[in-house]
């Protein structure tokens, strides 16, 4: 079976001394070194990147990475907004199904802090409906609308949202590569400025630079001699890009569909999963994800969030976003999906250090593009 046999991540944050090329190279070389592999042992490369053509004025990234890595093997660049990294992984997994005894590199990277906040917001908004862009609806605004619907429908308030950020910041303290490594309180979140009601600055993931890389293989000898985790499923689903055409605004339909397919393919159920990385671009997104994936009954997520039921010290079976999530670990959009799967891999192979969850057997990674136009759900096991 296809397996993950190695992972490496740069630090996420404001990495002004590193270019996009530097990030790609650091992550690629880092994962090769950690797995004791040479670039000549890699049969193909899969790149997750959204903004190279906007921020760095560099498209045809496949040829560009070929030059950086000094290889002439197949290189694929995948773009699915914030799900670019997850799509790179999912595509790599499909590639391996038709290429026996092969080994591939998956690398996701993004350079986001070298342009103004206004310009990066405009660039990110290109993943939204053109009609919604024209009326000035940015992603904070989209997720704020989802949050309003959810809070009103199920009787929750801003404290329930804030608890997600508090929990993920506590996990981020344990991650040396996290953008933010500091605790926050409910009051800190509630006192931070609104960006789009009811979401505040501390309900929101940051603009980050960073890169992450994975090695996937179906070469039995390599799998046997490395820390490995089996890819049980990696499924993608799409939905309308316009929120005005969505079925419901208290769910992400693409998440539900991709999750259903992933559990079907993996032949496990949500209760089997011990660790999970979900796409918490905003606090409401984590609550919706856990409901949409079938871990929490619809409408109960706000209560579980306020209880911090998925905190690493909760004593519960399911721990979520041990990396700190997008909120605290950071969100270099092309790298996020790769980092999420990498974190699950570390947990399943006992390499997560201070944030290690005990007795892990199955883990899930959930990566979303835009406001749910794309979702990729990946399940790993040991």
CA distance 255 to 372: 7
Strands 194-196 and 199-200, bridge-based pairing = antiparallel
| Residues with Cβ within 8 Å of residue 30, at least 6 apart in sequence | 8, 9, 10, 213
311 flagged as catalytic: no
Residues 82, 160, 279, 281: which is the catalytic one?
Answer: 82
Buried/exposed 125-150: b ≥16 CB within 10 Å, e otherwise? bebbbeebeeeebbbbbbbbbbbbeb
Measured over the CA atoms of residue 112, residue 77, residue 180 and residue 270, the dihedral's sign is positive
At 7 the three-state DSSP class reads strand
b/e per residue, 43-56, with b = 16+ CB within 10 A? Answer: bbbbbbbbbbebbb
Tokens of 161: 């949202």
281 is catalytic: no
DSSP 265-284: HHT--GGG--EEE---SBHH
**Selected catalytic residue, list 179, 311, 331, 366:** 331
Going by C-beta distance under 8 Å and a sequence separation of 6 or more, which residues neighbour residue 194? 200
Whole-angstrom Cα Rg for the chain = 19
Cα dihedral: 166, 259, 112, 183 (round 10): 10
Retrieve residue 122's tokens: 């405009």
Interhelix angle for 139-154 vs 158-172, to 10°? 120
Q: How many helices (H) and strands (E) does the chain have?
A: 15, 12
Separation between Cα atoms, residue 382 and residue 378, nearest integer Å? 14
Residues acting as catalytic residues: 82, 331
């Amino acid at each position: 079976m296809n397996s993950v046999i190695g992972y490496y991540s740069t630090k996420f944050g404001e990495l002004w001394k590193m270019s996009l090329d530097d990030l790609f190279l650091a992550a690629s070389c880092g994962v090769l070194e950690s797995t004791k592999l040479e670039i000549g042992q890699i049969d193909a490369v899969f790149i997750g990147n959204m903004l190279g053509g906007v921020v760095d004025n560099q498209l045809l990234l496949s040829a560009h990475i070929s030059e950086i890595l000094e290889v002439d093997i197949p290189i694929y660049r995948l773009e699915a907004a914030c799900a670019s990294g997850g799509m790179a992984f999912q595509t790599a997994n499909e590639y391996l199904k038709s290429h026996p005894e092969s080994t591939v590199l998956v690398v996701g990277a993004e350079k986001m802090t070298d342009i103004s906040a206004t310009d990066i917001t405009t660039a990110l908004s290109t993943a939204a409906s053109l009609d919604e862009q024209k009326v000035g609806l940015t992603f904070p605004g989209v997720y704020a609308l989802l949050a309003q619907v959810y809070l009103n429908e199920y009787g929750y308030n801003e404290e329930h949202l804030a608890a997600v950020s508090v929990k993920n910041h506590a996990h981020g303290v344990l991650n040396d590569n996290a953008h933010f490594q500091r605790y926050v309180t409910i009051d800190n979140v509630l006192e931070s400025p609104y960006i789009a009601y009811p979401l505040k600055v501390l309900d929101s993931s940051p603009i980050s630079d960073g890169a992450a890389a994975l090695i996937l293989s179906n070469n039995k000898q390599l799998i046997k001699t490395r820390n490995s985790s089996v890819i049980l499923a990696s499924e993608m689903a799409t939905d309308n890009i316009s929120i005005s055409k969505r079925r419901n605004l208290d769910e992400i339909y693409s998440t539900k569909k991709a999750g259903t397919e992933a559990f079907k393919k993996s032949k496990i159920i949500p209760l089997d999963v011990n660790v999970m990385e979900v796409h918490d671009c905003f606090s409401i997104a984590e609550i919706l994800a856990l409901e949409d994936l079938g871990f929490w009954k619809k409408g109960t997520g706000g209560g579980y969030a306020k209880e911090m039921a998925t905190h690493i010290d909760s004593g519960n079976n399911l721990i979520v976003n041990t990396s700190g999530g997008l909120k605290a670990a950071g969100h270099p959009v092309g790298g996020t999906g790769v980092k999420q799967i990498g974190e699950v891999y570390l947990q399943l192979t006992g390499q997560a250090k201070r944030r290690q969850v005990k007795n892990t057997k199955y883990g899930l990674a959930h990566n979303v593009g835009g406001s749910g136009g794309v979702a990729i759900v990946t399940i790993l096991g040991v």
